[in-house]
């Protein structure tokens, strides 16, 4: 794994909000190696956001800001139920 992806993976798992660690970290574990440079840029933009509003956007509890309405955010939102299942100990 290249240096950029390693840094992104670390950031994804060290959010400071357990639910976000699980959602974003699990997403990174599964998808990071396959992301294009543009998708990595989108993911880094997501990682720059604060946890509480990001959680609300991912879970659909708050409207998505236009600057985050990207293909990677859509993938992350689709992944969120999978992350919840992992957290609850259910197999995927």
Residue 24 has pLDDT above 70, yes or no: yes
Give the pLDDT confidence score for residue 86 in this predicted structure.
60
What pTM was computed for the model?
0.85
List, for residues 50-81, the tens digit of each pLDDT value.
Answer: 999 999 898 888 999 999 999 999 999 988 88
Q: For residue 86, with 0-12 CB atoms within 10 Å meaning exposed, 13-18 middle and 19 or more buried, which class applies?
A: middle
% of the chain exceeding 70 in pLDDT: 88
Residue 91 has pLDDT above 60, yes or no: no
Domain boundaries, the chain: 3-87
- Domain 3-87 grouped into CATH 3.40.50.300: no
Q: For residues 58 and 74, give the distance between their C-alpha atoms in angstroms, rounded to a whole number.
A: 8
| End-to-end CA gap in the chain | 25
Residue 49 has pLDDT above 90, yes or no: yes
């Amino acid at each position: 794994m290249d240096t950029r992806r390693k840094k992104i993976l670390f950031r994804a798992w060290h959010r400071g909000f357990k639910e976000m660690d699980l959602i974003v970290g699990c997403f990174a574990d599964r998808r990071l190696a396959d992301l294009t440079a543009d998708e990595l840029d989108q993911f880094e933009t997501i990682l720059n956001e604060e946890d509480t509003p990001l959680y609300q956007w991912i879970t659909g509890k708050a409207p998505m800001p236009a600057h985050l309405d990207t293909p990677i955010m859509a993938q992350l939102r689709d992944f969120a139920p999978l992350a919840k299942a992992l957290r609850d100990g259910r197999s995927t």
